[in-house]
Structure 1
């Protein structure tokens, strides 16, 4: 398959519009017609207001600058995620999952070395916050913008509804055929392909290929083509969320997502330029919707008074076949692995790229495409499950069950075993790398951050050549203060 002449996307939202602009950017110049059908009656979920560093590549590839899209979407920078109360281990109740920078190479290696010794019972400190720039940027209210050019990974926080509208306008400018209508029927050909889509019970829309961006409803990939859904409910227990917006801070703009554990799940805090978004992700098996909203309002405090709450249900899992016949599912229609670590748009982005490659190359092996996408989902799932599996909380049955009852993959079991034993952890990660979606620093940060170490039984006197954690912390604090710009100021600079 080298070209498609007519593509129809069903569904808007962030996934639909990311797909539309990507396909137009790639193929509009060669004559491919891209249409998007969006129902005015169906709203978007609008939960995904954070990203990984992958989103930076998305905009760079499209030639869209931060000064253009970020102000339009009330966006802020994100240097990582601050975790609070996921562990009760002394000194490890809080930790930061950092995005990497060029300044982290030396201190980071010191951190990895210290972790290796501490895993073997040496009595020393090994905490990620002492060895990376990102947690210091967050603590000093700095963003990733530096006085001098600097290699640093970062993501974003943004209003997902505004992002969808921004991408819609860009797509229309590239020649998108936009159809505002409700799909009333899907017809199949004898070979199982989608033959056409009927809108508003009147008009038939035909295409070479269809993209299902219809969200959890999965109109094409499931309702029409019967692609099996693989549930993750035995590994990840959260299936609900409640969100409440509050006013922004007057004196600062946080540059990280805050993830704080509550009684039956966790609460995100996402800072935009016009509001702070709070959301409680929880399991309905352990907590009612009313109880979740009450707990979230208590957690937020007075600033939640009078603010509307929005309740959401989530379907956690993935498709067995993301690409089936002449249809590919992208976004919530293909799967979702809860909001923790903000991986939804990363999976959308990678799925789009893989689909473009599938079309443009001679590799039209559908099984290979589906296997690749499934490996990505499984790799992300393993890292998300790790947060729950490593918790040591005993204050609620939810947290006890999250530790004791989740089904875990052989890959994750091997990683945990390698860390808990005296195996070479780097060698274990390297061996398993084809199955992993997260790099070395992320795995070290979560295990060490949550204090997954044996009791210290050996003096650290023989390891004096390792830089002290005080020294690396001082270095990170100094670099942050000297070379990086205030986050709020850097956001204002985008509009000047």
Structure 2
């Protein structure tokens, strides 16, 4: 298996300001077209590259185009982005109504008794104490032994989410828990914009009327709505699903994932915050998709991701309102459509697409911002190496292709392994045979009751997610034989009361989530993200 930590440390972490190189930049002026989280995050990473002020960065943001702004969750890699910029959580989180995220709870995806819900934890060093017992029990269960193999019992992050605790331990507990964030995406984009301008990025609020190409087919300049033109050496397309530059102007083909990711629409409906602030996202299966629940400090984000081939927008909205108990309430709903798939080349000529313009894998595992971060970091790395030629473009495009397809496989696995039979939507997902060889390898290895570790570490299948994630998904969905055998000696290998004691006592070192948010401490020492693989 590819060392995920090494890949991300090389390609994802934002470059700290102050780094420099004597090599002249391969381009002098980069124009980022489109603001929002994608545009401003990219601009910040470019502005803090090793070239510093020698690289001119302009963000061209149209006042006529709104920001989608409903992606409100992240993976743990966002920590590395802010750490690299030297921005404390106590600075950016309150400005974006942000909360902490220990993982994701999946409700109703499985109908197997005892597995109707499970928690997907972010991996941490504490998991080294319980991961072996979990995997061992999983394989005993696959072999027919009547042992406990549900993931929630084995991970500290699951306990934190259940108990409403924040995933940052008290100072006397020297163990780091991986965590992500929930945030208001519009406010996050605005915060990043202020940071970028303060670090030298030029901000122009103008609308693009035409993209003009040169004789070689590269983007030469942009004609603006008042007739002025803006020229640059290199362009970054952050124009969302419209893909104004890489799609419309450069005619880059789009590769759809619709054959195995059916959802193509969403409804967003915020509600007031009530009760505790949970440190988790909740994804609840509904009739034609799934509903999200995301806690912010000032409200709760809700929505429904669904397939228009299986229900209408009105039917989906009615179902979401019923789910939220708002059927007769005067709460506005925002309808969105999604284009699920990726550009065949995310770096084409003198343009790189970042964000929704490059592609989108539905929001189930909150990977949209991660793709922004990893794409911008890979672009910065290519620029710092001084190479923007065809070979560099090919390496970049292969890097991004692999990561899109690996992430797609993990998302598809959620749907493929569901056991619901109540609607055509869920039956079609379970019967879907449009699976990659990699995903087929994961599922065939699991169903043949063999360990996943060798195949993952050797890169034969399941790349992009660590072993703990695959085991949490497949065991959490209850993908075990129905015909349990009589108890075997294998059952006595692990004392689950010892596991319970370790998880419970570890969780006591983490504060109440709301209390933590009220007084966010500074991050102390070297907090470089590490992923512990098994």
- Pick aligned residue for 2:493 from 439, 450, 466: 466
- Pick aligned residue for 1:237 from 240, 262, 266: 262
CA-to-aligned-CA distance 1:223-248 (integer Å, 9 cap, x gap) = 11111100000010000000111111
- The alpha carbon displacement at 1:103 in A equals 2.0
- Pick aligned residue for 1:442 from 469, 475, 491: 469
TM-score for both structures, normalised by structure 2: 0.90
CA-to-aligned-CA distance 1:54-91 (integer Å, 9 cap, x gap) = 11111111111100000000000000000100000000
Answer yes or no: is the 8 Å Cα contact 1:259–1:267 preserved in 2: yes
Q: Give the match for residue 54 of structure 1.
A: 77
Answer yes or no: is the 8 Å Cα contact 1:123–1:456 preserved in 2: no
1:88 aligns with 2:88: no
Q: Give the match for residue 408 of structure 1.
A: 435
- The alpha carbon displacement at 1:461 in A equals 3.2
- The alpha carbon displacement at 1:362 in A equals 5.1
CA-to-aligned-CA distance 1:319-369 (integer Å, 9 cap, x gap) = 100001110000000000011010000111000111111111155421111
Q: Give the match for residue 169 of structure 1.
A: 194
Q: Give the match for residue 345 of structure 1.
A: 369
Q: What secondary structure does 1:124 align onto? A: coil
* Alpha-carbon spacing, 1:457–1:370, altered in 2? closer, same or farther (3 Å): same
- Pick aligned residue for 2:413 from 386, 396, 400: 386
Q: What secondary structure does 1:156 align onto? A: strand
- Pick aligned residue for 2:169 from 141, 146, 160: 146
Answer yes or no: is the 8 Å Cα contact 1:86–1:94 preserved in 2: yes
Report the RMSD for the aligned CA atoms in angstroms. 1.7
- The alpha carbon displacement at 1:451 in A equals 0.2
Answer yes or no: is the 8 Å Cα contact 1:185–1:201 preserved in 2: no
- Pick aligned residue for 1:356 from 351, 372, 380: 380
- Pick aligned residue for 2:517 from 472, 491, 494: 491
Is there any run of 5+ residues in structure 1 with no aligned partner, and where?
Answer: none
Distance 2:495 2:477 in 1: 20
Q: Give the match for residue 305 of structure 1.
A: 329
CA-to-aligned-CA distance 1:15-54 (integer Å, 9 cap, x gap) = 0011011111115624111001111110011121000001
Answer yes or no: is the 8 Å Cα contact 1:243–1:310 preserved in 2: yes
* Alpha-carbon spacing, 1:304–1:272, altered in 2? closer, same or farther (3 Å): farther
Q: Give the match for residue 475 of structure 1.
A: 502
Answer yes or no: is the 8 Å Cα contact 1:124–1:456 preserved in 2: no
- The alpha carbon displacement at 1:422 in A equals 2.7
1:208 aligns with 2:233: yes
Aligned length: 494
Distance 1:108 1:472 in 2: 10
Distance 2:51 2:455 in 1: 45
Distance 1:489 1:346 in 2: 28
1:25 aligns with 2:52: no
Distance 1:467 1:58 in 2: 39
Distance 2:61 2:496 in 1: 54
- The alpha carbon displacement at 1:392 in A equals 0.7
Q: Which moved more, 1:196-205 or 1:343-352?
A: 196-205
TM-score for both structures, normalised by structure 1: 0.97
